[in-house]
Structure 1
Amino acid sequence: MRPTINTITESVYASATVQPDSMYKVHAAVSGILEKNLVREGDLVQTGTPLLKITDRSPELSRENARLQMELAASNYQGSTTPLRDLASRIETARLAYIDDSVNFRRQEKLWSQQIGSRATFENRKLAYERSRNQLDQLQTEYARLERELRTKMEQARNSYRSYQANADEFTVRSFIDGKVYALFKEPGELVVPNEPLATLGKPDSFVVELLVDEVDIVRLRTGQEVLVSLDAYPDEVFRAGLTRIYPQKDSRNQTFLAEARFKAPPNQLYPGLSGEANIVIDRRENALTIPRNLLLAGDSVLTEDGMKKVVTGLQTLDRVEIRSGLDAGTNILKPEQ
């Protein structure tokens, strides 16, 4: 048998599974009972679309109490009959009394400087003026203190309501992406806990090929390499893809690494979970001198009519191996048993 000239391609084998792009499992942040699935499998949803409703009366009651406290605090601070308005009326009355006492005192002070009137009258006017001024100062100070207190209580009540509102909102699970609902895992009435998935979402028209690569081959992969994908659902076709991502964490359970590829021309119809095989092209050489792999002996030697010859090999596939030097196309190679 003589070596032949052909194209040889070396590749890494991987098991392949088709999954939606940006697929993620939906979890709840709270525990409770599933009241209702708000979507169906196959529905298209947008970011923020409600997916599931979880029942727990306690957060709703807490939120309602916080709302009432917020409204009361806002009414006390901004309403038409607030303590501030009452105090403002008292300040206005005290201000008018202060003005009146001030005028009377200044008038009496001027008369007294001219030795008109009695000292007792002057002292009474002065005392009334100082009393009015002190009362006005105290009321204004009280107003400033009360205003700060009521404003703080209103802001605290508002923050408390927002906190309870956010907590109550967590009982409605929403979508994080524009996508498609591929699976729902719970039925109404079932218990919901945070560590259990409730649904699976992903892109509706964009899929990736998840590849499980043996740890002995992972160091040979680079993004951009060509991937040839065969799917069980399309037994007579091979689809071309490109390697787009290599995950650095090894799965200790099966000693494999996860990589992703994207179709260059995907099949017309794809579903999550379609499985198959893939070959990741490591290298390709045109016009290579190759021999059947079963003719290559230990120590990279071949048996010829002139005896054993040492060869230098290159790319290898399951059935052929490239000969870089040591043979030419006219050399007749014998089978080992001969």
Structure 2
Amino acid sequence: MTSRLFLCFICASTLSACTRPQQVHLFKKDIVETVYASGKIISADEYSLFAFSSGAIRQKLVKDGDTVRKGQLIYIVEHDAADKKYEAAMTNYRHSAINLSETSPLLNDLRLAVKNAEIKLSNDSLTYFRWKELWDGGIGTRSNLDNVYANYQMSINLKNSADEKYTSALHDAQLAMSNAGSQLQSSRKELNDYLISSDRDGVVYETLKEAGEGVRAGEPVALIGTVSQRIIRLAVDQEDVGKVRPGQRVVLKTDLTGGTVYEAKVTKLYPTMNEADQTFRVDAEFTGNIPQSFIHSSVEANIIIQVRPAARVLQRTAMADDDSVWILDKGKEKKVAVRTGIASPEYVEILEGLDENATVLLKTKTTGK
């Protein structure tokens, strides 16, 4: 009987020891508060090149990874109809230019008519005023004076008519030239829409079409960006973005390079939330070594919010709530309030409410046991 009681005592003691909460104490440690972010590496000034006209790709003039200059052709889209339209507009423009030039047959005929009218008017004017002078001196007949006056008036009318015809023809030729120029410019622009070129110096990171494939107006055909600078585009949760500021240090890893850690800094925060995942865009730039010149590689990053050296900390698992812990006080368990500072995924800073000698109990938050 005695041995049975002793055995029960041993079992009870063992069970009590097994269920007793683990005890920990405050200790000093450098603690870093971070904000997690994920994203990808993109090229600075990265942009998609779009087709302006529909058709089949006649030629692809670059390949992925090529360096291109501003204005360099990337694709040529089939443009036979646009070619013919441009040629017709050019022919019409040249014809209009001839009609307005010094060798214009129509304008030259009208200029000659004006000169002839001027000569006739000059002669008839001299004749009339000579006869009028004689008439005023009592010489000649009224009939002769009336005839030369009539000829003089007809010459004036002929000169005015010749001037009007020339002015009208010149205006028509100028208008035709202007319209032909507008048509030529429009057809040239339409033709250029079939010639897809880069609008800046950069690198072709991806081509999306091959020769013979169809393309629609407004469809992207290539991805182009700068080779010398890359941006880390991060997504930060809406609950954390308020802590992020430009200039903060960023440490990150990429899927491409495995465990290699890279340094960066926050450069820009965007004010609009992505409603799909409740995040805000944050951009960062590399400050140390830069990964190979690949883009769109996924990254995981920690943004360093603040660092507290030699802080008094506890494991996060020791917190009963956000602002309290369980301690052992004179052999009894007691819940006490604490004021916390910064926190990391593993530790939390204790500012007030505990001294270094306090025995803290690791108890679950849900049961308190």
Superposition TM-score tier, normalisation by shorter sequence: over 0.9
Q: Call closer, same or farther: CA 1:271–1:60 in 2, change over 3 Å.
A: same
Match of 1:309 among 313, 336, 339: 336
Q: Please give the TM-score of this superposition, normalised by the length of structure 1.
A: 0.95
Q: Supply the distance in 1 between the matched residues of 2:293 and 2:134 (Cα, whole angstroms).
A: 105
Match of 1:171 among 169, 194, 202: 194
2:357 partner amino acid:
G
The equivalent of 2:14 in structure 1 is none
The alignment status of 1:222 with 2:245, answered yes or no, reads yes
CA contact (8 A) 1:228 1:238 kept: yes
Q: Supply the distance in 2 between the matched residues of 1:79 and 1:265 (Cα, whole angstroms).
A: 69
CA contact (8 A) 2:53 2:218 kept: no
The equivalent of 2:255 in structure 1 is 232
% identity of equivalent residues: 29
Q: Please give the TM-score of this superposition, normalised by the length of structure 2.
A: 0.87
The alignment status of 1:334 with 2:369, answered yes or no, reads no
Residues 240-274 of structure 1: CA deviation (Å, up to 9, x unaligned): 21112223333333333322111011325231122
The equivalent of 1:247 in structure 2 is 270
The alignment status of 1:323 with 2:350, answered yes or no, reads yes
Which runs of structure 2 are paired with 1:110-129 in the superposition (5 Å)?
Answer: 110-129=133-152
Q: Supply the distance in 2 between the matched residues of 1:88 and 1:124 (Cα, whole angstroms).
A: 28
2:342 partner amino acid:
L
What is the RMSD of the two structures over their aligned residues, measured on CA atoms?
A: 1.7
The equivalent of 1:209 in structure 2 is 232
Per-residue deviation, 1:175: 0.9
Q: Call closer, same or farther: CA 1:279–1:203 in 2, change over 3 Å.
A: same
* Runs of 5+ consecutive residues of structure 2 not aligned to the other structure: 1-23
CA contact (8 A) 1:32 1:191 kept: yes
The alignment status of 1:59 with 2:86, answered yes or no, reads no
Per-residue deviation, 1:196: 2.6
2:361 partner amino acid:
L
Q: Supply the distance in 2 between the matched residues of 1:60 and 1:190 (Cα, whole angstroms).
A: 20
The alignment status of 1:150 with 2:197, answered yes or no, reads no
**Greater shift after overlay, 213-222 or 48-57?**
213-222
Per-residue deviation, 1:161: 0.5
The equivalent of 2:9 in structure 1 is none
The equivalent of 2:153 in structure 1 is 130
Per-residue deviation, 1:299: 5.1
Q: Supply the distance in 1 between the matched residues of 2:361 and 2:36 (Cα, whole angstroms).
A: 30
Which runs of structure 2 are paired with 1:91-110 in the superposition (5 Å)?
Answer: 91-110=114-133
Q: Supply the distance in 2 between the matched residues of 1:299 and 1:96 (Cα, whole angstroms).
A: 110
Q: Call closer, same or farther: CA 1:71–1:330 in 2, change over 3 Å.
A: same
How many corresponding residue pairs? 338
Residues 95-149 of structure 1: CA deviation (Å, up to 9, x unaligned): 1111111111111110111111121111111111111111101111221122111
Report runs of 4+ in structure 1 exceeding 6 Å deviation: none
2:96 partner amino acid:
A
Q: Supply the distance in 1 between the matched residues of 2:68 and 2:96 (Cα, whole angstroms).
A: 39
CA contact (8 A) 1:16 1:229 kept: no
CA contact (8 A) 2:206 2:223 kept: yes
2:349 partner amino acid:
E
1:258 partner amino acid:
R
The equivalent of 1:84 in structure 2 is 107
The alignment status of 1:6 with 2:33, answered yes or no, reads no
Q: Call closer, same or farther: CA 1:124–1:82 in 2, change over 3 Å.
A: same
What SS is found at the alignment partner of 1:305?
Answer: strand
Residues 37-92 of structure 1: CA deviation (Å, up to 9, x unaligned): 11121111122211111113221111111111111111111151331111011111
1:239 partner amino acid:
Y
Highest Rg: 1 or 2?
A: 2
2:25 partner amino acid:
R
Which runs of structure 2 are paired with 1:179-190 in the superposition (5 Å)?
Answer: 179-190=202-213
What SS is found at the alignment partner of 1:324?
Answer: strand
Q: Supply the distance in 2 between the matched residues of 1:54 and 1:254 (Cα, whole angstroms).
A: 39
